[in-house]
Structure 1
Amino acid sequence: MKRLLIVVDMQNDFIDGSLGTKEALAIIPNVKKKIEEYEAKGYDIFFTLDTHEENYLETQEGKNLPVVHCIRGTDGWELTGALKKFKGKRFEKTTFGSADLAEYIKDKEYDSIELIGLCTDICVISNALLIKAFLPETPVRVDGSCCAGVTPESHENALKAMKVCQIEVI
């Protein structure tokens, strides 16, 4: 069986930096355990990295969310320390979802794809829907215990929205 785990934006700025939350901090042990499980079975693990440049505040996203975060090369852009040691392809993305990631995996014939990470209600849902669009016959799932949203309410709303779109929430 060929499985893929996608770890979405587990970066310092989303955990304890400029956009950090206590919920993001709380999922780190679950995320680490999930990665270790996939790694032990030899499954593929990919990471996305929210990546902005110094002109972030001039971008459309920056105008709508005027909080500087995940500037390439800064500590806030790095994966959280507990996850840095893990191997896996990294996909830098300048927006919520990674079309490059979806394009890269569309012909890989995975039996299932699982997403975990931050933020459930922005980048996790965006990537899950992109993958579902590129691979409509591949089971896509999201582990809610390994995700956190901007708020607990928006996390739950995102999980419900993904269920409606035939993404399994575990």
Structure 2
Amino acid sequence: MPKEALLIIDYTNDFVDDNGNLTVGKPGQVLVDYIVDLAEQFRSSGNEVILPTDLHEENNPYHPETKLFPPHNLKDTWGREFYGSLNDWYKQHATEKNVYMFDKTRYSSFAGTDLDLYLRERKIDTIHLVGVCTEICVLHTAVSAYNLNYNIIVHEQGVAGLSQAGHDFALSHFKNSMDITIK
């Protein structure tokens, strides 16, 4: 029987906290309870909770984001830790078999990772997306998932963007160009 998975994309201090290096700020901070509650619902029902998390190397001359954004989500830094109560939730459940955190180095959670294989091995055909940034990593993950024929649900109460205009564009694009369910 096909299962579902929750992807919590890049919900780290650097992207959400006021002191983060590339923060969405308050719009991202208000998501924390919704995201943690959803993670617990998925985990306790036996579905997968997957945390694809940006990982960068400072001043990497080969990575395109180096010239676009300030250093963020650097290995072993406070900025790469999960934001707020998600950090505590993750520490409590990190060793469980249906909780999977992995590094990603591109916008899409599928680019250069084993995510597609991981999902297919577990017969997962529907993915739920939450996290940040709506118009960057959430969008690129959704496009990749769409091209791989996954059913996609984006939780509007669980995503935030760097700008309201970008956030609104991404939600409209999900609905009107990819027929993604907005919940």
Tell me the TM-score normalised to structure 2 length. 0.84
CA offset digits 1:10-40 (Å, max 9, x no partner): 0110011112211111111111111111122
Q: 1:31 aligns with which of 32, 35, 44?
A: 35
Gaps of 5+ in 1: none
> CA–CA distance in 1 between the matches of 2:43 and 2:10?
18
Contact 1:56–1:68 (Cα < 8 Å) also in 2: no
The count of residues paired between Structure 1 and Structure 2 equals: 167
Q: Are residues 81 and 26 of structure 1, via their aligned partners in 2, closer, same or farther at CA, if it must alter by over 3 Å? A: closer
Matched with 1:61 is 65
More divergent stretch after superposition (10-19 vs 98-107)? 98-107
Q: Which amino acid aligns with 2:164?
A: P
Contact 1:57–1:68 (Cα < 8 Å) also in 2: no
Matched with 1:76 is 79
Matched with 1:146 is 158
Whether 2:49 is the aligned partner of 1:45: answer yes
Summarize the alignment of residues 1-170 of structure 1 with structure 2, pairs less than 5 Å apart: 2-16=3-17, 17-20=20-23, 21-56=25-60, 59-65=63-69, 67-84=70-87, 85-86=89-90, 87=93, 88-99=99-110, 100=113, 101-134=115-148, 136=149, 138-163=150-175, 164-170=177-183
Structure 1 residue 58: deviation in Å? 6.3
> CA–CA distance in 1 between the matches of 2:117 and 2:46?
22
Tell me the TM-score normalised to structure 1 length. 0.90
Gaps of 5+ in 2: 94-98
Q: What root-mean-square deviation, in Å, do the aligned CA atoms of Structure 1 and Structure 2 show?
A: 1.7
Q: Which amino acid aligns with 1:25?
A: Q
Contact 1:102–1:130 (Cα < 8 Å) also in 2: no
Matched with 2:96 is none
> CA–CA distance in 2 between the matches of 1:109 and 1:58?
35
Q: Are residues 29 and 147 of structure 1, via their aligned partners in 2, closer, same or farther at CA, if it must alter by over 3 Å? A: same
> CA–CA distance in 2 between the matches of 1:56 and 1:81?
28
